[in-house]
């Protein structure tokens, strides 16, 4: 096989296209049980509900929490998914304001 650094941009693009085409033809479809499908569907509906309910909420923590939920929805097909506890924290994050840090020092 030729070295990647010696390929012209056109040859590199063609090599990437052929590799993607070959990977697509050799892809094994994932099979999920009905139980997994139901759990996945429930999680998606909870995440979408949390996004829709958090639209009008104000606070610095809301934007980051909404972005985390959106990222979760975008990466549903990846193998590493959060467990139930972390998922519940994820969908409740926009509605819970973070605790204020307490300072014991003098106040000016």
106 lies in a domain?
no
52 lies in a domain?
yes
For residue 85, the enclosing domain spans 48-97
Mean pLDDT of the chain: 85
Mutual orientation of helices 60-74 and 84-92 as an angle, nearest 10°?
A: 130
> Could you give the number of structural domains in the chain?
1
pTM, two decimals, is 0.63
35 lies in a domain?
no
Sorted by sequence, the CB contacts under 8 Å of residue 46 that are 6+ apart come out as 87, 91
| Each residue's pLDDT tens digit, 83-102 | 889 999 999 988 887 777 77
Of 87, 98, 89, 86, whose CA–CA distance to 61 is shortest?
98
Q: Rounded to an integer, what distance in angstroms lies between the CA atom of residue 21 and that of residue 41?
A: 30
Q: Kindly indicate the confidence band of residue 4, based on its pLDDT and cuts at 50, 70 and 90.
A: low
59 lies in a domain?
yes
| Each residue's pLDDT tens digit, 12-65 | 899 889 888 887 787 777 777 899 889 999 999 999 999 999 998 888 888 999
Sorted by sequence, the CB contacts under 8 Å of residue 48 that are 6+ apart come out as 73
27 lies in a domain?
no
pLDDT on residue 22 = 83
36 lies in a domain?
no
């Amino acid at each position: 096989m030729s070295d990647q650094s010696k390929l012209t941009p056109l040859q590199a693009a063609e090599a990437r296209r052929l590799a993607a085409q070959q990977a697509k033809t050799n892809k094994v479809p994932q099979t999920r049980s009905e139980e997994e499908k139901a759990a996945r569907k429930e999680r998606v509906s909870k995440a979408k509900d949390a996004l829709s309910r958090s639209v009008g909420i104000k606070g610095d923590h809301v934007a980051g929490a909404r972005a985390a939920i959106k990222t979760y929805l975008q990466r549903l097909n990846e193998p590493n998914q959060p467990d139930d506890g972390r998922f519940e924290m994820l969908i409740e994050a926009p509605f819970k304001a973070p605790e204020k840090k307490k300072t014991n020092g003098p106040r000016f």
